[in-house]
């Protein structure tokens, strides 16, 4: 899990005002921790984001307080995650939101993005029933982090999803150079991005903090493997087939 809860006899040291300031994030943690635990059809995390994971565990006392007082609703969970998600496709007023937590080097993420993802796009996104968001969880090494940053640089030029698709369609071995910074720059050229602007963005680390914070936030939620998903508050772990998502989506559409 991303967070270790304290024993019952540990005193709650945070002030009430500090806890109140963190309420939105903490209620999300309470609602979803234990749910997005890495199992089957997923790539298991290996302790990346060490400092971030330690920082996340620092919220444990406040989490314990939140558990004692209230639990978050699915609506609260989704609201907080959506607020941290930068890129969506589909109707912003769609009744269902699906958030994908993934790593560009993860083979199961590539499988989902090139197989199930396009099916959901055709059936639900293009018909205005679902919007899909992507959340960075780059835990497999430097090339995962660089690829995530590069996708954000592409997003600065309005081509986030084109870059996302190219990375997953051209998935290579883990940290074997496929997503080196030089190759990421070549991909940008291939997609017709302004090379000078893109290269400066990637080299400067413009989006390093954003990507790192998303990884930390995902761990706070309890995400331990990729791909993981949350659909209107319902967690799904692993590169599940279309039928799994259809069952959940169609149930929400009936409500």
The predicted structure's pLDDT at residue 135: 95
Query: What is the Cβ-side half-sphere exposure of residue 205, based on CA atoms within 13 angstroms?
Result: 4
The predicted structure's pLDDT at residue 133: 97
Per-residue pLDDT at 22 exceeds 80: no
Closest Cα to residue 143, out of 225, 227, 202, 218? 202
The predicted structure's pLDDT at residue 72: 55
The predicted structure's pLDDT at residue 61: 33
- Render 18-80 in DSSP notation, one character per residue: HHHHTHHHHHHHHHHTTTS---SSSEEP-S-SHHHHHHHHTTHHHHHHHHHH----HHHHHHH
Q: What is the mean pLDDT of the chain?
A: 78
Per-residue pLDDT at 140 exceeds 80: yes
The predicted structure's pLDDT at residue 74: 66
Q: 122 phi and psi, to 5 degrees?
A: -70, -45
Coil, helix or strand at residue 137 = coil
Secondary structure E strands in the chain: 43-44, 87-89, 96-102, 130-136, 225-226, 228-231, 234-237
Better-scored residue on pLDDT, 127 or 62: 127
CATH architecture of the domain with range 16-254: 3-Layer(aba) Sandwich (3.40)
Q: 192 phi and psi, to 5 degrees?
A: 80, 20
Per-residue pLDDT at 245 exceeds 70: yes
Per-residue pLDDT at 197 exceeds 90: yes
Domain positions in the chain: 16-254
Identify the weakest region by mean pLDDT among 30-44, 113-127, 203-217.
Answer: 30-44
Over residues 142-171, the pLDDT tens digits come to 999 999 999 999 999 999 999 999 999 998
Over residues 213-232, the pLDDT tens digits come to 999 888 888 888 889 999 99
In angstroms, what CA-CA distances link 195 with 65, 168, 177? 49, 21, 20
Helix (H) or strand (E) segment spanning residue 86: none
The residues near 191 (Cβ < 8 Å, ≥ 6 apart) are: 154, 159, 162, 163, 166
Over residues 86-107, the pLDDT tens digits come to 999 999 999 999 999 999 999 9
Round to whole Å and give the CA distance between 198 and 185.
7
For range 178-194, the mean pLDDT:
96
The predicted structure's pLDDT at residue 221: 81
Round to whole Å and give the CA distance between 180 and 107.
17
How far is residue 3 CA from its own chain's centroid? 17
Over residues 32-87, the pLDDT tens digits come to 444 444 445 555 554 444 333 333 333 333 333 333 334 556 677 788 889 889 99
Per-residue pLDDT at 5 exceeds 60: no
């Amino acid at each position: 899990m991303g967070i270790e809860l304290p024993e019952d006899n540990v005193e709650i040291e945070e002030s009430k005002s500090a806890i109140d300031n963190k309420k939105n994030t903490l209620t999300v943690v309470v609602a979803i921790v234990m749910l997005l635990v890495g199992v089957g059809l997923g790539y298991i995390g290996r302790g990346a984001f060490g400092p971030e994971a330690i920082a996340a565990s620092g919220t444990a006392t406040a989490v314990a307080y939140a558990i004692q007082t209230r639990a978050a609703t699915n609506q609260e969970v989704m609201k907080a995650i959506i607020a941290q998600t930068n890129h969506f496709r589909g109707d912003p007023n769609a009744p269902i939101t699906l958030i994908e937590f993934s790593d560009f080097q993860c083979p199961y993420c590539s499988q989902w993005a090139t197989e199930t993802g396009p099916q959901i796009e055709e059936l639900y996104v293009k018909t205005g029933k679902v919007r899909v968001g992507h959340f960075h969880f780059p835990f497999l090494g430097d090339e995962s982090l660089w690829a995530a940053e590069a996708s954000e640089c592409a997003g600065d030029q309005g081509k986030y999803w084109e870059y996302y698709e190219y990375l997953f369609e051209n998935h290579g071995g883990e940290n074997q150079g496929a997503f080196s910074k030089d190759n990421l720059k070549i991909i940008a050229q291939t997609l017709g991005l302004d090379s000078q602007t893109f290269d400066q963005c990637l080299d400067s680390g413009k989006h390093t903090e954003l990507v790192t914070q998303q990884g930390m936030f995902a761990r706070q939620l309890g995400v331990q493997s990729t791909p993981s998903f949350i659909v209107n508050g319902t967690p799904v772990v692993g590169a599940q087939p279309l039928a799994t998502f259809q069952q959940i989506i169609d149930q929400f559409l009936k409500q």
